[in-house]
Amino acid sequence: MSKRLNLREFQQNILDRIQQNEVAGDRASTLGIQMGQGLWLIEMQDIGEVLPIPPVTPVPLTQPWYRGVANVRGNLYGIADLAAFMGQSETPGVGQGRVLLAAQKFAFNAGFLVTRVLGLRDVTSWQREEKDGEAYYKDEQGQMWRKLDVAQLLQQPDFLQIGI
């Protein structure tokens, strides 16, 4: 019988290989995502998994950006709409939207709803700027990308307080 490889193991294998390449100095990879109209970068080691939007059960008396909870292979994850959290319009629950699960290193069952995933980006040749303590990158086409710091997001009191 052939060995079955589940999606989580497959994605972890890919993340491990990317991180090995980064350590070897081959290239620095981040994942490009779109939240609302903005372009963002997120470190691959901060993401546990990328998946299509699962069925989400709303939770009463929570912030509008908190979509609810989702069962992902027997584990409950709180799903937050990052665009709505950052003051933009809500992300549609259909189309190219995806949920990014926070990496296990954070010990936080959080899923981040994003408008779409744009793929891996090598930012080593991009221009980096800092404004108000946030990192911005300008790509070869002149588009501005912001860096999403998942660790910092998961420590923000506004993000942690989902109740109204």
**Tokens 């989400």, residue?**
56
Q: For the domain that residue 151 is a member of, what is the CATH number?
A: 2.40.50.180
Structural domain contains residue 16: yes
What's the CA gap between 73 and 51, in Å, rounded? Answer: 12
What confidence score (pLDDT) does residue 1 get? 41
CA-angle at 156, arms to 108 and 63, nearest 5°? 85
Q: What is the pLDDT of residues 89-100, one digit of tens each?
A: 999 877 889 999
**pTM metric for this prediction:** 0.81
The mean pLDDT of the chain is 88
Backbone torsions φ then ψ of 89, nearest 5 degrees: -75, 160
Please state the domain count of the chain: 1
What's the CA gap between 24 and 77, in Å, rounded? Answer: 34
Domain hosting residue 130, numbered range? 7-160
Structural domain contains residue 1: no
Structural domain contains residue 2: no
* Element of type H or E holding 85: helix 82-85
**Tokens 């629950």, residue?**
93
Q: Is the dihedral of CA 118, 123, 129, 133 positive or negative?
A: positive
Range in 25-29, 93-97, 118-122, 127-131 the model is least confident about: 25-29
What does DSSP say about strands 66-72 and 56-57: parallel, antiparallel, or unpaired?
antiparallel
Structural domain contains residue 139: yes
Quick one: DSSP state of residue 62? Answer: B
Closest CA to 39 of 93, 106, 88, 78: 88
What's the CA gap between 47 and 31, in Å, rounded? Answer: 9
What confidence score (pLDDT) does residue 20 get? 66
Distance of alpha carbon 29 from the chain centroid: 14
